[in-house]
Amino acid sequence: MSELVVKAQGLTKVYKLFAEEIAAVNNIDLEIRAGEFVSIMGPSGSGKTTLLDLIGCLDGITAGRLEILGTDVSHLNESRLVKVRRGQIGFIFQDFSLIPTLTALENVQLASYFAGNGQAKDTLREALEKVGLGHRINHLPKQLSGGEKQRVAIARALVTRPKFLLADEPTGHLDTENSQQIVEVFKRLNEEEGLTIIIATHDARIGAQTGRVIYLQDGRIAS
Amino acid sequence: MNVVSVAYKNLKRKKIRSALTVGGVAIAVAVLVSLIGFDKGYQQSLTANVDKMGYQLLVTAKGCPYEAATLMLKGGGGLRYMEQDIFEKIQNDPRIDSITPQLVSTVYDPDRLDGQGGFAMYMGITQSYLTLKPWSKFKSGGWFSSETAEEAIMGYEAAEVEQRVVGDQIYIPSIDKVLTVVGIFERTGTQDDGIIFLPLKTTQQIFSLAGKLTGVGIKLKNIYEMAAFEEDLYAEPGIQVISMAQVKGTILNLISSAKILANSVALIAIFIAAIGVINTILMSVFERTREIGVMKAIGASKLDIFKLIWSETVLICTLGGILGSGLALLGSGVVEYVLKQILPYAPTGRLVLIEPVLLATAFAGAVVLGIVSGLYPAWRASSMRPVEAIRTGE
């Protein structure tokens, strides 16, 4: 059996909104193994993004226990969490989140720089070629289509050779054709390279193409 | 790739805002460089002017010492007269190395300066003048033919302004007198360049000031005897003694309050520039909150973000420092011109002295300003929690 990438027990995240406490993630038990392609689905406000933030070590948990790649991150502070994130977790956001002043290549290079990896042009170019953008490396984000921007974001996430990818509504800003192209990129990375991918989506057609669907409702796993 | 290149590209994102902030720093640096340059240049020129007077003490008729100091430096006569007897009495004091009597008179000449009109300054001197001012060399011609000759020696600028050469005749309108130019001095870089020199006795005679002097310049054999010598001179009635060190101090005192005001303005300019830089960078940080969150998500540490934002501030101030130093260097001529118009007394020579050391110090100061101003915005940015930063910008 492959190693555990994510292991959550009673995972809870509570936000305080004035006097009210809201459990965005409520007592979740979850295991995700290396090589899985998992989608987290559910309606708006069901806790998909919060769960992804916790798995991505972007936020601390309120209660329960969370292990990422075998490390207990339940009580780590931000400076420790960054060490877990760096180079091990790749992030893809709904709005692409590229740095507008940097070219496609430089956006990828920046992630490599922050991760403390080498900045050899060949490696960076390879990451962009892997997502079919080898011919657009010197273009600024504003010169790229939505689908191309998201592929640069995927290349940026891949360049640090992460153990798993987290994608929050990666097709939310794309049309059907571009959405499918992005999903195909994910499927290929999962099938050919065995990369673990966890995506949050509300699109059932995308969920249907992943290996496992986790359905959230009111911060709990419904199915 | 490094943080500096990313920071530089970030600054280019809002070109006008960045340019205005750089401009603010540049103006503050330029003001500071000009003021320090003025402080140094003025003191240096004043010292050079005073030293080139050749004497350490000036005896004049009793009056306002400030007025006397300023007028003597400007080359003008206090136009209070003392009796020549005093000169006769003290000239043989064994402590004196050299001594020269002077009689100054100014005459308004309506034809001067191409018909604009202006004052011409005449100074009656004796051969001892050349002993006290050995750097006064003749460009052409030579000394007066006799002590009573109706002849003139022109300072370099006086000759230039009136376009005179040796052998020309000059006319003094108010007293209807014609003098022959027998010599022209080389440029000395002092107020003497603008004076027309006559034999002392001739001056006393043609200006009807027989037995009168406006001043006596004295150089002592031993400078340490100055205090005692001054004390002795004060025994004489109707005179005052001004040491050149006093003159220098008096002039510096006169401009010191203006300098305090100007320095305050410079400090305020720097403070405002620093606030401007902090404001610009903070605004930029808040605008890029989500971007900073994403950078943290993809692996940037607190230190990475701190260095990035800090670099932007230091870059702005470094560019401002370079621009401001250049501005001060190029604009020093204009500043000098303006200062010469508004100052009560401006010595000859460079008033604004901008040396490489000053430019280097100003540049280093601008970099330090960037380092200090960048601390808070960089700390704010680096302290952002990634999840909050990412969600804030959504």
Angle at CA of residue B230, ends B136 and B196, nearest 5°: 25
* Residues B301, A86: C-beta atoms closer than 8 Å: yes
Per-domain residue ranges of chain A: 36-61+75-221
Q: Which chain B residues touch A53 with a CB distance below 8 Å?
A: 387
Alpha carbon of A157: minimum distance to chain B alpha carbons (Å): 7
Using the Cβ of B298 and the Cβ atoms of chain A, whether some distance falls under 8 Å is answered with yes
* pLDDT tens per residue across span A132-177: 888 888 999 999 988 899 889 989 988 888 999 999 988 888 888 8
pLDDT of residue B71: 57
The predicted pLDDT at position B334 comes to 87
The DSSP code sequence of B283-312 is: HHHHHTHHHHHHHHHTT--HHHHHHHHHHH
What pLDDT does B175 receive? 83
pLDDT bin (cut points 50, 70, 90) of residue B77 is: very low
- Eight-class DSSP state of B164: -
pLDDT tens digits for B281-311?
A: 999 999 989 999 999 888 888 899 999 999 9
> Which parts of chain A have pLDDT scores under 50?
none
Backbone angles phi, psi at A156, to 5 degrees: -60, -40
Chain B interface includes A26 (CB < 8 A): no
Beta strands in chain B (DSSP E): 57-61, 82-83, 96-109, 118-125, 138-141, 151-154, 169-172, 177-185, 195-199, 212-213, 215-220, 239-243
Give the model's pLDDT for residue B257: 76
Interface touch A110/B386, C-beta < 8 Å: no
pLDDT confidence of residue B394: 57
Reference A116, options A70, A85, A153; nearest CA is: A85
| pLDDT at res. A9 | 93
Complex ipTM value: 0.88
- Least Cα distance to B130 among B122, B140, B138 occurs for B138
Candidate from B9, B296, B299 with C-beta closest to A87: B299
CB B28 within 8 A of CB B335: no
Please give the C-alpha separations between residue B272 and each of A173, B66, B276, B373, B382, in angstroms, as whole numbers: 43, 38, 6, 11, 25
Say yes or no to pLDDT of B393 above 60.
Answer: no
Nearest C-alpha neighbor of B190 from the set B144, B158, B151: B158
Count CB atoms within 10 A of the CB of residue B372: 15
Q: How many other CB atoms are there within 10 angstroms of residue A79's CB atom?
A: 10
Dist. CA B92–CA B140, nearest whole Å: 33
Q: What is the DSSP letter of B356?
A: H
Largest Cα–Cα separation, chain B: 98
pLDDT in tens, B247-265: 777 777 767 777 788 788 8
Model pTM score: 0.72
3-state secondary structure (DSSP) of residue A51: helix
Reported confidence tier of residue B67, pLDDT bands at 50, 70, 90: low
- Residues of chain B by 3-state class (helix, strand, coil), percent to 5: 60, 15, 25
The chain-wide mean pLDDT, for chain A, equals 89
pLDDT tens profile B40-61: 888 888 777 777 777 888 888 8
Q: Which residues in chain B touch residue A95, judged by CB atoms under 8 angstroms apart?
A: 394
Distance CA B289, CA A95 (A): 14
Lowest mean pLDDT among A84-88, B93-97, B149-153: A84-88
Residue B143 has what pLDDT? 93
Query: CB of B13 within 8 Å of any CB in chain A?
Result: yes
Judged by CB atoms closer than 8 Å, whether chains meet at A82 and B302 is answered as yes
Tokens of B112: 């001067």
All residues of chain B having their beta carbon less than 8 Å from the beta carbon of residue A91 are 294, 297-298
Q: In what order do the strands lie in the sheet with A63-68?
A: A20-33, A4-17, A63-68, A71-72
Specify the pLDDT at position A21.
87
Nearest residue, CB atoms, B6 vs list A56, A93, A110: A110
Query: Which residues sit opposite B347 in a β-bridge?
Result: none
B298 vs A53, A78, A156: nearest CB: A156
The pLDDT of residue B342 is above 80:
no
pLDDT at B65: 62
| Cα A216 to the center of its chain, rounded Å | 17
Nearest to B298 among A78, A101, A111 (CB): A111
Second-level CATH architecture of A36-61+75-221: 3-Layer(aba) Sandwich (3.40)
Mean pLDDT along residues B113-127: 82
Taking all residues of chain B, what is their mean pLDDT, rounded to a whole number? 85
pLDDT(B72) > 60: no
Q: DSSP states of B2-13 as a string?
A: -HHHHHHHHHHH
User: Which residue blocks in A139-223 are alpha helix, DSSP H?
Assistant: 146-158, 176-193, 204-207
Length of chain A: 223
pLDDT of residue B156: 92
